Amino acid sequence: MNDSSWGAPPQAGHWRPPEMGPVQGPASAGPAYDEPAAQQTRPMPIVPEVPDAGDGEPMPSTPSPQQPAQPHKAPRKKRAGRDLRAAIGVGVGLGVVIAASLFIVKAAFIGVIVIAVVVGLWELTSRLAERKEIKAPLVPLAVGGTAMVVAGYVRGPEGAWVAMALTALAVLVWRMAEPPDGYLRDVTAGVFAAFYVPFLATFVALMLTADDGPQRVLTFLLLTVVSDTGAYAIGWRFGKHKLAPRISPGKTREGLLGAVSFAMAAGALCMQFMIDDGTWWQGLLLGLAVAASATLGDLGESMIKRDLGIKDMGTLLPGHGGIMDRLDSLLPTAPVVWLLMVIFVGS
């Protein structure tokens, strides 16, 4: 889920003092867009502080004597900030792949998780190297992440923990082949990446091991998507009060209320009709927890991207960004849903 998901994105502009005259058009995109071999991720737009005229609109600059005053333009219509057609098409395609792997051959969904984990690790380590010169070793992370998901499915939580410990050890040993400068920084980032992407994704595999595993995984995915959709719909239409402006300026408190209400309603329906021995009131609690964890996960990755100075982690999914831009709310939600499912209806 991206920063633009909960409301209209801020319009990037370019402002000069009045004595220099108004500047026509947007600011230069910078050297990252001037070279053909520019990196694929989009830089985070920098929005300057503009004096407020009192009604929420930027105060217009005074025209210089050499330039005539520009005619007043009508305010632009609020836009979503994403290519919705591409986003919907990609979302439908991913939904078909997930549904087919879940309900035709249950174990095939483990392959889907592994692919998402490896691509997500590649995006994360690539951005760390490009923007911060942090060299988190991808090979032990990819191998260890695959082992985590498979071990969680075959051996349960104990297998996932053992694979996580071995992956951390492999990261420490692998990095020893490089010069010692930055060793602590690189291995710290590597262990963080191992926990953040594959270990949290392992809880999806744990959900799948139950007798009604496909229904549990589908409930987890539906509630997270519905939470994001509710936040987008309500925040885009009614959002006025910022939720965390320093982290993600596009998110609003109204969007959070939309996420909670949509997720609780969907949770009640899913637990009542899809989960064995589930009840509607359990679904209300589950939906509330999903909305909270999905929001925190989204804000967490927004912090990472803001620190890196990028808008998206990648460009693999048109209209969405990269794989990590779709996993941001799913990853921290997986252990929450797995735990509540175990408490409510058992493992």
- Residue 103: pLDDT band (50, 70, 90) is confident
Full-model pTM: 0.75
Nearest to residue 264, comparing CAs of 227, 316, 309, 231?
A: 227
Mind giving me the DSSP string for 130-142?
Answer: HHH-----HHHHH
Nearest to residue 236, comparing CAs of 4, 9, 8?
A: 8
Q: How many CA atoms lie within 13 A of 121 on its CB side?
A: 30
What distance in Å separates the CA atoms of residue 268 and residue 287, rounded to the nearest whole number? Answer: 8
Kindly report, residue by residue over 127-176, the tens digit of the pLDDT. Answer: 999 999 999 999 999 999 999 999 999 999 999 999 999 999 999 999 99
What distance in Å separates the CA atoms of residue 166 and residue 314, rounded to the nearest whole number? Answer: 28
Kindly report, residue by residue over 168-213, the tens digit of the pLDDT. Answer: 999 999 999 999 999 999 999 999 999 999 999 999 999 999 999 9
Query: Is a pLDDT exceeding 70 seen at residue 26?
Result: no
Residue type at 252?
T
pLDDT for residue 99:
80
Mind giving me the DSSP string for 89-135?
Answer: HHHHHHHHHHHHHHHT-TTHHHHHHHHHHHHHHHHHHHHHHHHH---
pLDDT for residue 6:
56
Stronger pLDDT, 100 or 164, i.e. the higher one:
164
